[in-house]
Amino acid sequence: MRRMFPILAVLVALAAAWYAAVAPMNIRTALDQAKRAGAVVTPEGARVRHEVSVWRLLAANSEHIPAAYSLDRPRLPTPGQVAGELWKTTGEMALRGRAFSKRSLLYHGWITLQATLWGFALGTTLGILGAIAIVYSRVADMSLMPWAIISQTIPIVALAPMIIVLSSQVGVEGRGVPKAIISAYLCYFPVLVGMVKGLRSPAPSQLDLLKTYNASARQSFFKLRLPASVPYLFASLKVGIAAALVGTIVGELPTGAISGLGARILIGDQFGTPLAIWAALFAAALLAGALVTLLDVIQRITLRRMGVHP
């Protein structure tokens, strides 16, 4: 509880700042709408209002401030509006038995989650195999490692449309595969780096001990290097799954996808419905939090079972 108090205090302060920012962000739209509805607004003309600063508008039209908090298409929605939209597109639809209709964020979250998990599985496999190659082969170490770093400095978003074009030309239907490739591209690197560190973590004396036992390379890998790398692996898996989700959403954003959380953001942008964008953003944040927490729990259980005390 004592650890939670500062976090809660900061969260409350952030929410308060957000709430306070809504009025200056939305007052222009609110005044335009009030004017159209026939209310008295100072100053009168739309062009004059455009040149007056937001703060003077707020001071002169204090009776219209509440309207800024309940716009249909706000520039900045209130936390309450976002939560309401999130509930409307998840919980409420689930209660009505339409949890997986195409308007529900649960459906879009599920699409994103699938691609993320495929990308995560692919990226983790590649990362672990690459790390084994790097640890056991000097050529791989010298040639792969620099390119692994360079690959992460290349902005994947530039490649994303090409990956989608290529995979559709090769005959892959749907967007699941290209999205998974993009997310694996972002996800393999932390796993690779963590596993290289982990596989190299046994001390020389421990490796020597296995040599005195006449252990084969396979035995020393499975009985010493692999178990020693598990704490490193989990630390990098947590980074990796977050990166995989970023990759999936990046794969959905610029490419005209129609399902998935990134596609909801895209569609919300095209149709000018900010609430849909914000709800999809928060759904993505919740998904990221849930995935990282899940891996954290698995990490704790595994490490306790293995007798590691972190």
User: Which position among 23, 135, 246, 257 is part of the footprint of another protein (CB under 8 A)?
Assistant: 246
- 29's tokens: 């739209």
For position 119 contacting another protein by CB under 8 A, the verdict is: no
For position 265 contacting another protein by CB under 8 A, the verdict is: yes
Contact 166, 181 (CB under 8 A): no
Q: What part of residues 167-206 is at the interface with another protein (CB under 8 A)?
A: 169
For position 45 contacting another protein by CB under 8 A, the verdict is: no
Q: Which stretch binds another protein (CB under 8 A): 34-42, 80-88, 95-103, 275-283?
A: 275-283
Q: Which stretch binds another protein (CB under 8 A): 64-72, 82-90, 253-261, 300-308?
A: 253-261
User: Which position among 106, 113, 281, 303 is part of the footprint of another protein (CB under 8 A)?
Assistant: 281
Contact 67, 34 (CB under 8 A): yes
CA dihedral 165, 167, 173, 179 (to 10 degrees): -90
For position 292 contacting another protein by CB under 8 A, the verdict is: yes
**# residues near another protein by CB under 8 A:** 58
Count CA atoms closer than 13 A to 239's CA, side-chain side: 14
In the complex, minimum distance from the CB of residue 305 to another protein, in angstroms, rounded to a whole number: 26
Of 159 and 226, CB closest to another protein: 159
Q: Which residue has the tokens 């335009």?
A: 32
Contacts of 216 (CB under 8 A, 6+ apart): none
Q: Which stretch binds another protein (CB under 8 A): 5-13, 92-100, 126-134, 173-181?
A: 5-13
Q: Which stretch binds another protein (CB under 8 A): 34-42, 97-105, 121-129, 276-284?
A: 276-284
Give the Cα separation of 112 and 109 in Å (integer).
5
Smallest CA-to-CA distance from 119 within 186, 187, 180, 167 is with 180
Give the Cα separation of 177 and 164 in Å (integer).
9
Angle, vertex CA 111, rays to CA 110 and CA 116, nearest 5? 95
Of 3 and 309, CB closest to another protein: 3
Smallest CA-to-CA distance from 255 within 156, 171, 167, 175 is with 175
Contact 123, 236 (CB under 8 A): no
Contact 287, 113 (CB under 8 A): yes
Q: What part of residues 149-168 is at the interface with another protein (CB under 8 A)?
A: 149-150, 152-159, 161-162, 165-166
Give the Cα separation of 38 and 34 in Å (integer).
6
Of 80 and 213, CB closest to another protein: 80
Of 66 and 146, CB closest to another protein: 146
Could you list the residues that contact another protein (CB under 8 A)? 3, 6-11, 14, 75, 138-139, 141-147, 149-150, 152-159, 161-162, 165-166, 169, 238-239, 242, 245-246, 249-250, 253-254, 261-262, 265-266, 268-269, 274, 277-278, 280-281, 284-285, 288-289, 292
